[in-house]
Homo-oligomer: A and B are copies of this chain.
Amino acid sequence: MITKLHSSRPLSLRAFSTSPISLANRAIIFPKAGNPADVLQAQTYPSLPPPTPHSINVRYRFSPINPADINVIEGKYPAKPTQVNDLAGFKFDNGGVFVGGNEGLAVVTEVGESVEGLKKGDRVVMSKPQSGTWRSASALDVKDVMKVPDEASDGFAATMTVNLATAYNMLNDFVDLKEGDWVIQNGANSAVGQAVIQIAAHRGLKTLNFVRNRKNFDELKSQLTNLGATQVITYDELAPDSFKDLRSKVQQWTGGNPIRLFLNCVSGPTTTSLLRLLGKDAHLVSYGAMSKEPLSMPTSLFIFKNLTCHGFWQSRWYEDATEEEKRELVEKLVGLKLKEAEHEVLTIPAGDSDGVATEKVRDVVRKLAKGQYGKKVLLNIEQPVD
């Protein structure tokens, strides 16, 4: 079963892009940072050798294409995937390549020595950021995966380790929130924002959700309300002539209880205005800056209202967490019994040449860049015929 290319036969990227080689596996790789529609390439590679001790071989089932994955490929993201010089013995020259993808659901196909708690057929998700999930199969260290409980659907499990985990941890790690407590968030219709709404509702927390005004605001409002949003408001109400009214409304909704957590993925002036709705001892947790503007804050908020500001990055969370904390996170996320994120699966069929597969992947990232996908795209890379 193990097809290993002779190590004295290195192939340059140029070589395989013009003459595709059909092998047991396929990965979506990029030789260097750039426009994903230009640099992404499908690349077949051999079957995996048996796993080394403490390792497992896995077969990827669904690997999401997340917006941050695109930023990684563009070289605009602080986290870089590890450069690989070979894939299961298939060598790359020119310093190696990167495999795309951060998140993914995989099935254990083979278990190495000294592996405990995982067996063939178990489903796992990644706890090591940027491990390169856009491939059909991979060898992984057991400490870089988390076992998925049986009750989780494939679609849910494949998409829970980034956005859902971010939402869950931000609601958990900074303020000890009790049932009935209020949380403010902006960018409330983002993937994380929607997860925040659902998890908060599940915990009995109230959410004050800010979004941009738009033609179909009422539609968006009822969509978010159906997910569990307590209030949905546009940034327009932060304008000087309506702020006082807004403050009264908030006062009424909260019964005057101080709002102690604000989740921010926007920054810029609207975020500064929103700070005025916070109570004493509040925490601002930033996980994005969609406005591409900085956060500007009056110093008095820190000194006299005891505001604390943090950032949140799920990748760092995984780096810092213990095995036990990671296991617990997965169990909690699955235990929430949320609906799967809306998604569609992009299958790269076994029979496609690397050239055809390359075009399919480039086409989808081109569409994603133009915002032509409403749904999350999950890659399903079939194993090409060897």
Inter-chain contacts of A305 with B (CB < 8 A): 311
Residue contact B306 to A302, C-beta cutoff 8 Å: no
Instruction: From the candidates B288, B294, B309, name the one contacting A308 in the complex (CB within 8 A).
Output: B309
| A window 36-55: CB within 8 A of B | none
Q: What per-residue 1/0 map shows which CB atoms of A224-251 lie under 8 Å from chain B?
A: 0000000000000000000000000000
Inter-chain contacts of A267 with B (CB < 8 A): 299
Instruction: From the candidates B272, B296, B301, B313, name the one contacting A311 in the complex (CB within 8 A).
Output: B301
CA distance A303 to B284 in the complex (A): 12
State the oligomeric state as a number of copies. 2
Is A115 part of the contact surface with B, judged by Cβ < 8 Å? no
| A window 293-325: CB within 8 A of B | 294-313, 316
Is A78 part of the contact surface with B, judged by Cβ < 8 Å? yes
Instruction: From the candidates B264, B303, B313, B316, name the one contacting A286 in the complex (CB within 8 A).
Output: B303
Is A287 part of the contact surface with B, judged by Cβ < 8 Å? yes
Is A289 part of the contact surface with B, judged by Cβ < 8 Å? yes
**Interface secondary structure of A, over-half rule:** mixed
CB distance from A32 to the nearest CB of B (A): 21
Given A295-B297, A296-B294, A296-B295, A309 contacting B303 (CB threshold 8 A): no
Q: What per-residue 1/0 map shows which CB atoms of A241-270 lie under 8 Å from chain B?
A: 000000000000000000000001001000
Inter-chain contacts of A306 with B (CB < 8 A): 311, 313, 316
Having A286-B302, A296-B296, one finds 20 other A-B pairs with CB under 8 Å, namely A78-B304, A267-B299, A286-B299, A289-B298, A289-B300, A289-B303, A294-B296, A294-B298, A295-B298, A295-B299, A296-B297, A297-B297, A302-B310, A302-B311, A303-B313, A305-B311, A306-B313, A308-B308, A309-B309, A309-B310
CA distance A304 to B77 in the complex (A): 9
Inter-chain contacts of A300 with B (CB < 8 A): 78, 289
Instruction: From the candidates B287, B308, B316, name the one contacting A310 in the complex (CB within 8 A).
Output: B308
Inter-chain contacts of A296 with B (CB < 8 A): 294-297
Which of A264, A286, A288, A311 has the largest count of B CB atoms less than 10 A from its CB?
A311
Inter-chain contacts of A298 with B (CB < 8 A): 289, 294-295
Which residue of B has the minimal Cβ distance to A300?
B289
Inter-chain contacts of A289 with B (CB < 8 A): 298-300, 303
Which of A302, A304, A312 has the largest count of B CB atoms less than 10 A from its CB?
A302
Inter-chain contacts of A272 with B (CB < 8 A): 294
Inter-chain contacts of A303 with B (CB < 8 A): 286-289, 311-313
Residue contact A302 to B294, C-beta cutoff 8 Å: no
| A window 184-243: CB within 8 A of B | none
| A window 350-384: CB within 8 A of B | none
